[in-house]
Amino acid sequence: MIFFIGCSSDDQTPPSAGFTLSDESPTQWDRVILTDKSSGSTSKAYQISGGEFAMSDDLSVVVFLEDHTYTITQVVKNNQGEDTESITITVAAPDNKYLIDGKEIPIVSEPDWKQESKKVRIRFVNEISGQPNPDHVSIFPIPGPNPLEATYLFDSTGKFTGTYLMRITKDYNTDLGSYEWTMNFNGNDGDGKLIIDLVFKDRLDPDSNVYEITIENYTLSTGYFDFPSGS
């Protein structure tokens, strides 16, 4: 795909292409800033190949929507000729995980939003081989000042900061139809421990918006919870 923007030049010498990226090792959904270093052009275009992406109207920011290898090429022109410069980068997949007492537990499917008891929850799924229902961590953001239950307010930058409730489930028992272990605890009230950032806003489909969710380290007052022994 090609994006164009007009430029001014005295057209006395051939143009010189050049640009830099704020991050050459980004993760999928990261916002990468393009800084134009070209000179002497009357027109400038960017060609991006390798996967889906979104670009700002002024060509200053690109969001890579897939974990692929991308090539970004700048093409500059004036009446004396043209010049190009390319940068190839590899965009990594998000490293979704949670930690319990230093043990890293991967989240192998995309987090999703669910409704439970008229409240929104964000569920991080951890599929377990041979287990019909996955283990998961669920976060329940505590509603903000909006009087409608389960309505969460984001500011103009797409940021939500608030408190939350959290639930961890472990070891689904098919015979019982329930999890062997369920642990619930609260975020620190009023400390803004849950941060949800809108990192990609889909212009056509709000359900396709992408959020970055951050929870600060939480220490259980009872110490490490050993799921197999229940202690």
Per-domain boundaries in the chain: 2-90, 97-215
Q: Are residues 69 and 25 in contact, defined by beta-carbon separation less than 8 angstroms?
A: no
So what's the pLDDT on residue 149? 39
Q: Pairing relation of β-strands 159-162 and 194-200? A: antiparallel
- What pTM was estimated for this model as a whole? 0.62
| pLDDT single digits (tens) 48-78 | 999 999 888 888 899 999 999 999 999 999 9
Q: Is the pLDDT of residue 220 over 50?
A: no
Rounded Cα distance between 163 and 187, Å, is: 6
Secondary structure of residue 208 in the 3-state scheme? helix
- Residue 200 token pair: 């990609």
Fold of 2-90: Immunoglobulin-like (2.60.40)
So what's the pLDDT on residue 8? 56
Q: Is the pLDDT of residue 9 over 60?
A: no
CB-facing half-sphere around the CA of 178: CA atoms within 13 A: 4
CB-facing half-sphere around the CA of 52: CA atoms within 13 A: 6
**Stretch among 9-23, 123-137, 166-180, 212-226 having the lowest mean pLDDT:** 212-226
So what's the pLDDT on residue 62? 93
Q: How far is CA 77 from CA 55, 81, 196, in A?
A: 21, 6, 42
| pLDDT single digits (tens) 117-173 | 656 667 777 777 788 887 777 777 765 554 333 445 555 565 666 666 777 777 888
> Could you identify the residue written with the tokens 């307010």?
153
* Contact partners, residue 12, CB within 8 Å, separation at least 6: 40, 80
